[in-house]
Amino acid sequence: FDSYQNNMFQIPTFLIQKLDQNQIKEFVEKYCFNVKEVSSNVLKILKSKKNIQELLSRPLLLTRAIEIIKIDNYLPEKEGQIIEKFIDMLLKREKDEKKDPLLNIDNFKLLLSYAAQYIWHKSQSNTPLHAFKFNKLLVEGADKFGLERFNAGYITRIGYELEILSKNGDLIQFYHQSYHEFFCKHFLKYEIY
């Protein structure tokens, strides 16, 4: 069924092979530049997370988990929490280390959440939008939530630089489906209250 489904639309499809335990160990060691103390600590914390071993065999989540452990010496228990923690770390670094006075982390996440939920309701997937439409959604979101005027291009630029968004020509989409899902979930906070 998988091969049928993958070929159904006659577009190239790539399935990312999950890593086995030996590959995870090798990946962590290389990612930590073969620094024994760091890689040993990361591996110890990864192994302690019995409930999410399946998730950690995926390269994107594994790299995010390694970064979180290297900085906080801790790893959340759920995929969404790992993605959120990683995105928060990126934004905090942008704000604090790069001294970006314009970045309001809560507003950044709210506006991308607004765009994510629009994309989800339109196509149920991480479908790219024209840059003009994407930026228009950010302005709409700012108006809806009463945020002060801002430059939508600034939000998308930060999104590209942090690899939260990707751009191909005039089309913008979330860098990964997991990011799109996170921002859709994040938006529910604002719809419920």
Task: Name, in order, each residue with C-beta under 8 angstroms of 169's C-beta and a sequence gap of 6 or more.
Answer: none
Q: What is the mean pLDDT of residues 134-146?
A: 94
- pLDDT tens-place string over residues 118-137: 999 999 899 999 999 999 99
* pLDDT score recorded for residue 4: 54
* pLDDT score recorded for residue 148: 80
* pLDDT score recorded for residue 149: 72
* pLDDT score recorded for residue 28: 96
* pLDDT score recorded for residue 9: 59
DSSP symbol at 70 = H
Q: Does residue 38 have a pLDDT over 90?
A: yes
What pTM was computed for the model?
0.84
* pLDDT score recorded for residue 5: 54
**Whole-angstrom Cα distance, residue 189 to residue 128?**
24
High-pLDDT (> 90) share of the chain, %: 76
Q: Does residue 106 have a pLDDT over 80?
A: yes
Q: Does residue 1 have a pLDDT over 60?
A: no
- pLDDT tens-place string over residues 56-103: 999 989 999 999 999 999 999 999 999 999 999 999 999 999 888 889
Task: Name, in order, each residue with C-beta under 8 angstroms of 158's C-beta and a sequence gap of 6 or more.
Answer: 94, 100, 103, 108, 164
